[in-house]
Structure 1
Amino acid sequence: MTMYQNPILYADYSDPDVIRVGDDYYMVSSSFAYLPGIPLLHSRDLVHWEIINHCVPSLPFEKYNNPSHGSGTWAPAIRYRNGMFYVFVPLADEGIFVARSADPYGEFTLNCLHEAKGWIDPCPFWDDDGKAYMVFAYARSRSGIKHRLDLVEIDPDCRKLVGEPVTIFDGEQLGPTTEGPKLYKHQGFYYILMPSGGVYPGWQSALRSESVTGPYEYKIIMHQGNTDINGPHQGGWVTGPDGRHWFIHFQDVIELGRIVHLQPMCFHAGWPFIGSEQNGDGIGEPVKEWSLPVEGQPQYRIAQSDDFSGSSLGLQWQWQANPRASFFSLSGHPGIRLFCLANPVRENLLWYAPNAMTQIPQHQALSAVTKVRLQGDKAGDMAAIGMIGHFYAYLGLVKAEAGNELVLFSGTVTEKEFEGEAEEQPFASVPYDGDTVYFRLELFKNKTYRFAWSPDGIRYTSIGGANPLARATWTGAKLCLWSANKRNFISEGYGEYEFIHIEDRSGCEEGL
């Protein structure tokens, strides 16, 4: 019997939801203000995943043309009905939207279901009588409410509300910070699976009723118990072709975000039971390993390294704002050109840069090496590699009046719950005689990372010391490539990144 290990993805795919269509599984996750948004992942065994699309190419609001940390696409839900994939997308400041496509690899279109501030974590449900409903939660940061679930009837095509919301669960005492509800029907009962108690210290709960509108009974169905899996937090239930039930959820590891676990699930006395009984309290705890849901399927991997040889940007990349063609070029030259743009609205700091090209780290420890050529036009032109978070750092090749130099910058973000304000300064610098350099960023298991540079890709010289890894707003730290004019001059310069090679170092001694 082949076993799998948790977490199945040591990567920040937060608030996962999952469905099965035939023998294929599809999963979506939050992406907040990183765009294109709502990555769509595919698997044949629930353990090995690949990115196949994004459900939200861009957001139709001007504010997302610049970084809006903490806003954007919150916890989505995915469902399949009558040949159509529906992804319910909450924007905490703008309302509930629906992305839809008949082809999971094709283009998704976006419509507004309902304008509202503070409505989050929506999940659609079509009942046996043809009526459709949406269950949702509230964002305390926008509405002052954090413990209530409401249900509202919607039209079956998911384009408008039909009725008024009614409260079906008030968890002020039983389930504080109740959110992320997912609504299902099984053997005559309506079930809502949802996390309670907060992201880091919380648990997984369930509601059960014989009527979609309630009243609902409440039960805790999985918690940390004696394990080291904190949370365990929200996710989705899916049933395999063989009838076995599974639950995907996340665990918050802070600096690298919310990583993904897969749990066995069954029913006991009419209630879901998730994980395994490990401490005698009758509540499931997360498992470290379990038998693979199905054997002999493709062992997909999420792409990381890139030689930028395709006609479009790899699906592993996202921007800090709505994508624009003016950010980059892929044709007629080696690699990718990231243009040394000025910031149109404020000082040109990494935290404020819409054209920072980011990637979710896939490992606890890794090495990332890129070869970059700086074609400088104006003083201040820069090409860099870095790590974005509430403390961040990046190493750039910068054009100065007297010639090129290597500069290590560090930044600190305050007012973190919302968009945040950044302070940034150069930390170390050395002159550099040339326009082409290899940069290496090494992330270690002790939650630090270091930079080094090389003229030939063989002999590397460290610059600066250990930088503390830090999460960003509602996300884990992001690896990034960024070109800019640090003096905010309008420039024709660019950084030409020939490749980025990313290697898993989680099993290496120096990564401890």
Structure 2
Amino acid sequence: MTGETYTNPVLNADWSDPDVLRVGDDFYLTASSFGRAPGLPLLHSRDLVSWTLVGHAVDHPEPAEEFATPRHDCGVWAPSLRHHDDRFWIFWGDPDQGIFQVNAAEIRGPWTRPHLVKAGKGLIDPCPLWDDETGEAYLVHAWAKSRSGVKNRLTGHRMHPDGTELLDDGKLIVDGDRIPGWFTLEGPKLYRHDGWFWILAPAGGVETGWQGAFRSREFFGPYEERIVLEQKDTDVNGPHQGGWVRTPSGEDWFLHFQQRGAYGRVVHLQPMRWSADGWPVLGDDGAPVAVHRRPDLPPQPPAAPATDDDFPGGRFGRQWSWTATPRDGWATQHSGDGLRLACVRSADAHDLRKLSNILTQRLPGTPCAVEVELRLDSEEPGARAGLAVLGDAFGWIGLQRGTDGQAEVVHRFAEGVAERERDAAPARPAPEGRVRLRIEIGAGARCRFFHDVGEGLIPSGPVFAATPWRWVGALLGLFALAPVGPGHAGAATFSHFRIDPL
């Protein structure tokens, strides 16, 4: 990347199913958050290349009790972000409950509580449109076959202009089964342009598909279609769902995701223009670009969503989210620095994938080193705390209190098919109950673990290959646990969390 060009991906981590919006000189982006809390991340940019995380639109998925334990393939799916009537609006589908929306006067909130617009199983990827020409409002959505038995089709509705309800039972407006070669049509984004209703929607599957465009003079159809972005001879497999945005000078751009295994769904920025016959052309004549001229926007200093954290006053930054709805007392604020996590008692301490009290952030998409300092304050035998890489498989390194009262460095892992963790290396003494932990993450998300109890970094165990969850990239996590038993089990303190490039 130079001062005049940018390099994809512009968001090199798991910002799944992005949608983008411009209001004035500011661009905003949101993404899926599934069962994590808080949810619906909100990012801001002035140049479409450098993004910062400015907040979240929901504290946790609703209803909270349904997400008291991790549900990485449920919850908040594929949101749409819009601005109408001087308010920001986000619509999303929960595949088990239906279509929700929240809205706010300012992007940083406060946001309304989630409102159920339409109940139903398998209703996903909703996108509203307020038609300024007619005053009508519409909504299009896709279907999850796992819940409804239906997929590869888009359903359209008239919507009440206040966004609270749909006004009809819906009509099938695009049937992917009737388009030769098309399958798994999903993720529609709805627009009005040049006298047409436009739907930009991917098909063909997350890892191998393409981006389609549909247009019709009437919202309920009939629609004609065209493939407008596909992998061709690039390294960008299955360019998948995203959103179109126009700059103040009239340039058009398209942000979409690419599935990259353990790294999740990273976000690319594609130039967009209109062909002589009125169709959008994305990328380099329909192929994703790796490097391109920057958008015609005022220069901005480089920026990226925060990763490092000193946890001032015991508070953690916006980049962190719990794996499920949090409970009071998991993290304690105090007068100093450092994240103080309670050693939560659990019968599932042998399997981090089942635990709600893990504080996580996204795995970076480039080689990096992750470091944090840990002090185990709990005197409870079996209490433990550590730094983890979480997915269908997981590995972690940290401290555990032995039955003799001494702290030890432990390193454990579990394969995707394993029901409980086991040792990845022999335990080592940590006489002062303190340790510096380090994970070096190389190409292919291959992780090497290290620890330092005051004698320098020592490697631990074999290489561990990070894996994604279902639809979610691998996560970095901090946790503190204790075996089942009576009373409070004490706490652990994390400090100086850093992620540096390798």
Matched, 1:461 2:458: yes
Structure 1 gap ranges (5+):
278-283, 415-420, 506-512
Task: Report the Cα distance in structure 1 between the residues aligned to 2:284 and 2:337, rounded to whole angstroms.
Answer: 52
CA contact (8 A) 1:139 1:146 kept: yes
Cα displacement (A) at 1:80? 0.3
For the aligned residue pairs, the C-alpha RMSD in angstroms reads 1.6
Aligned match of 1:111: 115
- Is the 8 Å Cα contact of residues 363 and 504 (structure 1) preserved in structure 2? no
Letter aligned with residue 91 of structure 1: D
Structure 2 equivalent of residue 175 of structure 1: 182
CA distance in 2, matches of 1:209, 1:495: 59
1:422 and 1:139 map into 2 onto residues whose CA distance is 28
* One-letter amino acid of the structure 2 residue matched with residue 143 of structure 1: S
The aligned counterpart of 2:421 is 424
1:473 maps to 2:481: no
CA distance in 2, matches of 1:422, 1:219: 46
Q: Give distance in 1, aligned partners of 2:279 and 2:27.
A: 24
The 10-residue stretch of structure 1 (365-374 or 322-331) with the greater mean CA deviation from structure 2: 322-331
Match of 1:492 in 2: 489
Aligned-partner SS, 2:372? strand
Q: Deviations over 1:377-401 (max 9, x none)?
A: 3211111001001111001200011
Tell me if the contact between 1:382 and 1:486 (Cα under 8 Å) persists in the aligned partners. no
2:396 aligns with: 394
Q: In 2, are the aligned partners of 1:348 and 1:485 still within 8 Å (CA)? A: no
CA distance in structure 1 between the partners assigned to 2:34 and 2:444 by the alignment? 27
Q: Shift in Å at residue 326 of structure 1? A: 1.6
Per mean C-alpha deviation after superposition, the further-off stretch among 366-375 and 53-62 is 53-62
Aligned-pair CA distance for 1:347? 5.2
Residue 68 of structure 2 aligns with an amino acid whose one-letter code is N
Alignment partner of 1:86 is 2:84 = no
Which range is displaced more, 187-196 or 105-114? 105-114
- Is 1:237 matched with 2:244? yes
* Aligned partner of residue 183 in structure 2, secondary structure: coil
Mapping for residues 338-417 of structure 1, pairs under 5 Å: 338-343=341-346, 346=348, 349-402=351-404, 403-414=406-417
SS of residue paired to 1:325: coil
Partner of 1:52: helix, strand, or coil? strand
Structure 1 runs (4+) greater than 6 angstroms displaced: none
Instruction: State the Cα distance separating 1:68 from its structure 2 match.
Output: 1.3
Q: What do residues 181-234 of structure 1 show as CA deviations (whole Å, max 9, x unaligned)?
A: 000011101110000000001000010100011000011111111111101111
C-alpha displacement at 1:487, in angstroms?
A: 5.4
SS at match of 2:335: coil
**2:17–2:78 contact (8 Å) kept in structure 1:** yes
Whether the 8 Å contact between 2:36 and 2:61 is mirrored in structure 1 is: no
- How does 1:70-219 map onto structure 2 within 5 Å? 70-109=73-112, 110-127=114-131, 128-172=133-177, 173-219=180-226
Residue number among 11, 16, 19 corresponding to 2:18 in the alignment: 16
The AA in structure 2 aligned to 1:444 is G
| Structure 1 partner of 2:71 | 68
Against the structure 1 CA distance between its residues 259 and 216, is the aligned structure 2 distance closer, same or farther, given a 3 Å change threshold?
same
Q: Does 1:271 align with 2:279?
A: yes
| CA distance in structure 2 between the partners assigned to 1:446 and 1:123 by the alignment | 34
Q: Is the Cα–Cα contact under 8 Å of residues 389 and 476 in structure 1 kept in the other structure? A: yes
Letter in 2 for 1:410: F
| Alignment-mate amino acid for residue 69 of structure 1 | H
Residue equivalent to 1:305: 308
Identify the residue that residue 452 of structure 1 maps to in structure 2: 450
In structure 1, distance between residues paired with 2:419 and 2:15: 25
CA distance in 2, matches of 1:400, 1:333: 28
Q: Summarize deviations over 1:65-115 as a string: whole Å, max 9, x none.
A: 111121111100000011100000211111111011111112211211111
State the TM-score, normalizing by the size of structure 1: 0.93
In the aligned structure 2, how far is the partner of 1:489 from the partner of 1:389? 31
Q: Could you tell me which runs of 5 or more consecutive residues in structure 2 were left unpaired when the two chains were aligned.
A: none
Shift of 1:312: 4.1
Corresponding position: 1:285 with 2:287? yes
Deviation at 1:325, TM superposition (A): 2.9
> What CA distance in whole angstroms lies between the structure 2 residues aligned with 1:482 and 1:431?
20
Q: What is the letter of the counterpart of residue 222 of structure 1?
A: L
Secondary structure of 1:337's aligned partner: strand
In the alignment, structure 1 residue 257 sits paired with structure 2 residue 255: no
Equivalence for 1:508: none
**AA partner of residue 134 (structure 1):** L
Q: Match of 1:129, as an amino acid?
A: T
In the other structure, the counterpart of 1:509 is none
Q: Percent identity?
A: 38
Does residue 320 (structure 1) correspond to residue 323 (structure 2)? The answer is yes
How far does residue 333 in structure 1 lie from its aligned partner after superposition?
3.5
Instruction: For residues 143-180 of structure 1, give each alpha carbon's deviation from its aligned partner in whole angstroms, at most 9, with x where no partner exists.
Output: 22220100011111111111111001111244200000
2:341 is aligned with what amino acid? L
